[in-house]
Structure 1
Amino acid sequence: MGMSDYIEKGNVLETPFGYTISVIGGKWKMLILYLLAENQIVRFNELKRKIGSITFKTLSAQLKELEADGMIIRKEYPQIPPKVEYSLTHKAEALLPVLEQLCDWGVKNHNN
């Protein structure tokens, strides 16, 4: 079954493209992946500070979704205060060239 067959049946989310969008779509996920790619390992508060306008609740939810989809690794250290670090999985690293292409497209088309 091709993508057009899924679209005709109203099942676009069941396509590979639909899966991709479900994993990285939305306002924040690609930005989070980009920041993790740039900084390797990042703590929650550092992500919050770098993004700026995201709420703690939204950032937490986005990180949980990315972790559930196998895109990030959450490592918690048993100490006081608690320390949690996030990094990319190999699955997410395989997506980085696509994110770079999206960034290049933005550079070329932002002011057009």
Structure 2
Amino acid sequence: MMENENFLNELDKMLEKEREKACPECLKCGWCCKHTVCYYGEWDYERNQCKFLTNENLCGKYDEINKIEEEMNLEIKLFGSGCCLNYSNPDRLKKYSKNG
């Protein structure tokens, strides 16, 4: 039984490392909110981006969304998962090279 638990713990660690590689840290470049909206967003047709995206590329509904998801006790949340749109993302690449 202990051997199975050790195996599962090691497997969890391995999977967590792979998840980190798959979705690196968000650099707040705004790319995702300039191409589509999340479940909580609304499209601004004049600006061609989510209407809640601020000039600093932050989510204007961040606190509200976190509160909702906290109350729902969600395991996977909108924020904190990292950037899964990191390939061929010119905004991210520019910001990454500036942050060096």
Greater C-alpha radius of gyration: 2
TM-score category of the 2 structures, normalised to the smaller one: under 0.3
> Normalising to structure 1: TM-score of the pair?
0.24
Q: Choose between structure 1 and 2 for higher RCO, CA contacts under 8 A separated by at least 6 residues.
A: 2
Please identify which structure carries the higher helix content.
1
Please identify which structure carries the higher strand content.
1
